[in-house]
Amino acid sequence: MLESHQLIRKGISLMTDIKAFGERVIENLEKVIVGKKQSIELIVIGLLCQGHVLIEDVPGVGKTMLARSLARSLDCSFNRIQFTPDMLPSDVTGVSIYNQQKGKFEFRPGPVIGQIVLADEINRATPKTQAALLEAMEERQVTVDGTTHVLPKPFMVLATQNPIEYEGTFPLPEAQLDRFLLRLRLGYPSALHEIRILDDQQIQHPIESITAVVKTKEILDAVDAVKHIFVSPAIKRYIVELTTNTRQSADVYLGASPRGSLALSRAGQARAALLGRDYVLPDDIQALAVSVLAHRIIVSPGARLRDLGSDRITQEIINGTPVPGGDFSPEPARKKTR
């Protein structure tokens, strides 16, 4: 009984630490990105899951600034890759150069070898160059000339793309999209928030004044802690039902893969931790399902003719999938309340 009580107390302390961690990062980001708390929370969820985030929106709404602000808020290295059509894979991963003085090849690391990596306008690069990110995003390593180089921890790719301008761009292939944990859109600010942006940037940009609010060890500890958030069997079945329904929908040509189920489960754990819980609720899954699953499905031609997008289809699947009921908390907590 004492052991269960100690486990509960440890869990409560752990959730308090993660919640405080998230609040510090979110508060810091809100100094730069005004009126977009929901999008900022998704970025922090991606950080806690060590997942990659695709920020898709029109120019000028703060996509790049959000990525830069996150890097400044963390005690991590930051590299930016400005993708262009003439970029080569070696410009991303690095290249081996022969050193005549030492008589051997030396590896010159590319910008992907960092902790927080901004892949700006990723869809402007050719598919061959985009593919250079696949190994890094999935396996946390890059292989150059037969030699594997392990990436530092934490490692996170924040990619931006403009969904409106298609000239000179190359749409991301399904394999690339599937490696992004979340896709988010910032959208235009409200009138009041836009006035505040004008005020804040009249003299100096707010990003110049923000500093790191969490250390690298805190990030790694929080990432590890999130993995232990309890996910009940009912929640797991609910997640699988949602992803299965994306595969069975008549409006979907290709549904979400099992990687989508894993991503939704892990993102649910991170959201629960940010809210101070040590267990996942259906509300967590519903709040994240569109951001996690919509970019993983391919809309059928018939649905495109009816002007149905992946976000709307995913939301309809959420609305049509029965929500489980019952107690979703971990067993020790239930025993304590008896």
Quick check: 62 and 194 in contact, CB under 8 A?
no
Closest CA to 321 of 230, 264, 232, 244: 244
pLDDT of residue 281: 94
Domain ranges of the chain: 14-227, 229-338
**Calpha distance 131→126 (Å, rounded):** 9
Q: Can you identify the CATH homologous superfamily of domain 14-227? A: P-loop containing nucleotide triphosphate hydrolases (3.40.50.300)
Burial of 307 (0-12, 13-18, 19+ CB in 10 A): exposed
**Calpha distance 108→216 (Å, rounded):** 24
pLDDT of residue 10: 45
Question: Which portions of the chain are predicted below pLDDT 50?
Answer: 1-12, 332-338
pLDDT of residue 4: 36
pLDDT of residue 16: 63
Buried b / exposed e along 247-269 (16+ C-beta atoms within 10 A) = eebebbeebbbeebbbbbbbbbb
List C-alpha distances in Å: 84 to 87, 163, 167, 221, 323.
5, 16, 12, 36, 45
How does DSSP classify residue 214?
A: B
**Run of H or E including 21:** helix 2-30
Closest CA to 48 of 211, 228, 189, 242: 228
pLDDT tens digits along 129-161: 888 888 899 899 998 888 888 999 899 999 988
pLDDT of residue 306: 87
CATH number, span 229-338: 1.10.8.80
pLDDT tens digits along 47-58: 999 999 999 888
